[in-house]
Amino acid sequence: MKRSTLSHSFLNIILVFIESALTLLLRLDPELRKAAYPLAKQGTVVALRLYLPHVEIFATFSTKGVLLDAQLPVGRSEPDVVINAYSIQIINAITTHDSETTEKLQMRGESVQVQLVKQFIMQLGLGSLIQGLIKKFKGGKSKQDLTEAEMADKKNSYQLRIKEQQTQINTLTMKNRELETTLKEAQSKQKTLIIVTIVAIIGMIGAIITLLMN
């Protein structure tokens, strides 16, 4: 009986430390907050049944963070998602951020919530804490911190801008050619008009001289 009480107390101490670490991670990592938001919005409860050691932990997602307890929250008859795994499997999933490792975890529950929990686990870890601290001290993202998706978006954005600018250049070039053609036509008409006018004046002068001589 005493061993059970001590074991339960020790577990509660560990849960307090883990809960504090999760709170810190959620504050520092915006991507982790984004992954936790849909779970918190639904008040999702995850039961984590570990082997070696044999422990059952309940994680409740809320707007205050992720609350950990050794018992099911009051008012809940069963969890939304159940994870059955060895402790080393959970540690590997958290530290590696590998989708394949996370997919190997045995999860039961509604498919949408199971997928959200997997996304949260893949985003969770010590790497997120270190990156969060670096971003905190740097005051934002540097070019090296950009994800592949962000780089791809920026690349696509630049390509679209280049295409738009090329289209504008082509349009201006066409308009410039049209103006040059119009100008050349006007100059040609003007020359023709001047020649016709000169010829007419010369003809009039010739006609006047002819009349005077008669």
- DSSP result, the chain: -HHHHHHHHHHHHHHHHHHHHHHHHHHH-HHHHHHHHHHHHHT-EEEEEEETTTEEEEEEEETTEEEEESSPPTT-SS-SEEEEEEHHHHHHHHHH--HHHHHTSEEEE-HHHHHHHHHHHHH-SHHHHHHHHHHHHHTS--GGG--HHHHHHHHHHHHHHHHHHHHHHHHHHHHHHHHHHHHHHHHHHHHHHHHHHHHHHHHHHHHHHHHHH-
> Given pLDDT bands bounded at 50, 70 and 90, which one contains residue 124?
confident
pLDDT at 61 over 80: yes
pLDDT in tens, 99-120: 888 888 999 999 999 999 999 9
State the average pLDDT for the chain.
80
Mean pLDDT of 22-33: 86
Confidence of residue 9 (pLDDT cuts 50, 70, 90): confident
pTM of the model: 0.56
